Amino acid sequence: MEGMSMKLVTLGLSLLALYAIQKYIELRRVIKSVQYPSHPGKITLLAQDSLLSNILPRIPGISMGGNATWEGRYQRRSHRERVAAYAEVGWDVVANISVLPSQVTLSLADAAAIKEVTTARFRFPKPVWQYKTLSFFGDNIVVSEAEEWKRHRKVAAPAFSDKNNKLVWDETLRIMFDLFDNVWGSQELISVEHALSLTLPITLYVLSAAAFGQRISWKDDGTVPTNHQLSFKDAIVEVSNNCVTKIIVPSWAMGFNAHTRKVRLAFDELENHILDMISSQRYAEKKAEKHDLFSSLLDANTEDPTFTDRDLMGDIFIFLVAGHETTAHTLCFTFALLALYPEQQELLFQHIQTYEDMSLLTYSMAVFNETLRMFPPVNNIPKYSAEDTSITTTNAAGEKRVLPIPQRTIVILNTVGVHYNPRYWKDPEEFRPGRFLEPDWPRDAFIPFSPRACIGRKFSETEGIAVLTSLVQRYKIEVLEEPQFASESFGERKARVLTTKPALTLKPVRVPLVFKRR
């Protein structure tokens, strides 16, 4: 028996040694493929794009950390005195190599290289397998690529029309005036512990009206229709707030506690509400002309027999997620920046007083764009190489280098890196909306909505500008004064108010504000 145990131990050690040798050989091959260490990068145990690496904090040699892209922005952060990888190495393309699995992930903060990757779609397609967790209700425009993406895009594009943009503008103003008149009323001063508690319902109500044709007011009683357990409002709020739970928790474990059961119910109820809406509108005897996204998608759906109800459900859901949380977070950051920079807020107020038409609200658009530059919703946009190829990168001294890219290499477009790259943006840590009014601002270095034209970009911009102009016209925004922070410097206050954490999109942790009637 003892001899048998020794043999098993020896066999186990031998297998472990063979595995270690195999991983070492694979790692050497990967290192050689990208000319490391002659081209800079880091070696970690876990891949930069792995789920575990995104969950863990930054552990040198083990994990890049879920917030690594944001915390390691291009420039030195004055309150942390930390220099990001790009500034350290002098190049705007960094090769991050992992052991498990043995692969290289190229991270790009070079605007020209990013443009090369995004224009060569066949060489650098989207890694659709990374997006499959967003197929809750069916395939959609985000989780598809190539011909399938074109099919979804063809059906969805007519929905994002000028008529829909007009609906977005009108509904946003209706919701904002409802807030001012029926919620805030005659109050001269309104304090909020976190501005996200304001921006999330605003964007949700706009989305409900302009995307689903379902108007929700601030004092909606949330009546539950027959054959439902949740109202449309409650279902959509729960789904919007708990997408991460749905992504992380497997379906078989969704009934293990009260929270996951509530999330499961919300997803089921939202699906049933949408199916009811499809049935009601499709078989209505007299169809009224509507310009909400849902109605337009449904009309386009009837013209393409290959586009199923599951495809329709999938696209509706993804527009819900993208249109709600993304715009809410951006508006929250915008309010925070305007409170921190009162001189910029005053410039915006004076501009709003002069113009009313959205097409003329150039400074409002500049404020919105500058917020998106500083706080892009998505920090990384993944691609991969479909073949053995290469890209050209340039350093700050103007030296060029052709970098080989083996097939199946993950290529990350580092939104944060290029948005804070001082080669393109002067004083990138400073909030300066005016830079977007200059005729030669660096368009190739601005990718908050992904370089491939985001179909919902105009929807988000229209909503954002309507919220911003209506609020700043009536109220002055300031940071809430709290006794425990009375002695902090401007830098400390800025760091505190603009603290972020990774979520489905970049999320503000806590933005305490005061809105004072003008």
The reply, when asked if residue 454 is annotated as ligand binding, is yes
Q: Give 410-444 pLDDT, tens digit per residue.
A: 898 989 889 998 889 999 999 999 999 999 999 99
Compute the C-alpha angle 495/416/413, nearest 5°.
165
| Paired residues of 94 in beta bridges | 107
Question: Do 88 and 130 belong together in one domain?
Answer: yes
Question: Do 502 and 363 belong together in one domain?
Answer: yes
pLDDT of res. 316: 79
- What's 323's domain CATH number? 1.10.630.10
pLDDT of res. 33: 66
Question: Do 351 and 456 belong together in one domain?
Answer: yes
pLDDT of res. 80: 32
Residue 429 lies in a domain: no
Nearest by Cα to 30 from 401, 413, 410, 412: 410
Nearest by Cα to 330 from 449, 446, 410, 244: 449
pLDDT of res. 3: 67
Q: In total, how many domains does the chain have?
A: 2
d(CA 92, CA 113): 9
DSSP assignment letter at 145: -
d(CA 238, CA 267): 8
Question: Do 233 and 345 belong together in one domain?
Answer: yes
**pLDDT exceeds cutoff 80 at 23:** no
| Paired residues of 63 in beta bridges | 59
**Which ranges in 375-518 belong to alpha helices (H)?**
415-419, 457-474, 490-497
Chain-centre distance for alpha carbon 448: 8
Question: Do 207 and 129 belong together in one domain?
Answer: no
Q: What is the DSSP string of 377-410?
A: S-SEEEEE-SSSEEEEEE-TT--EEEEEE-TT-E
Question: Do 180 and 233 belong together in one domain?
Answer: yes
Three-state secondary-structure class, residue 375:
coil
Higher pLDDT, 403 or 281: 403
**Could you tell me the residue range of the domain that residue 322 belongs to?**
146-381+446-517
Residue 424 lies in a domain: no
d(CA 414, CA 91): 13
Question: Do 59 and 84 belong together in one domain?
Answer: yes
Question: Do 41 and 173 belong together in one domain?
Answer: no
As given in the structure block, the two tokens for residue 328 are 């809410």
Higher pLDDT, 361 or 185: 185
Residue 289 lies in a domain: yes
Residue 425 lies in a domain: no
**pLDDT exceeds cutoff 70 at 76:** no
Nearest by Cα to 98 from 141, 149, 61, 148: 61
The overall longest dimension of the chain from CA atoms, in Å, is: 91
489 with 191: CB under 8 angstroms? Answer: no
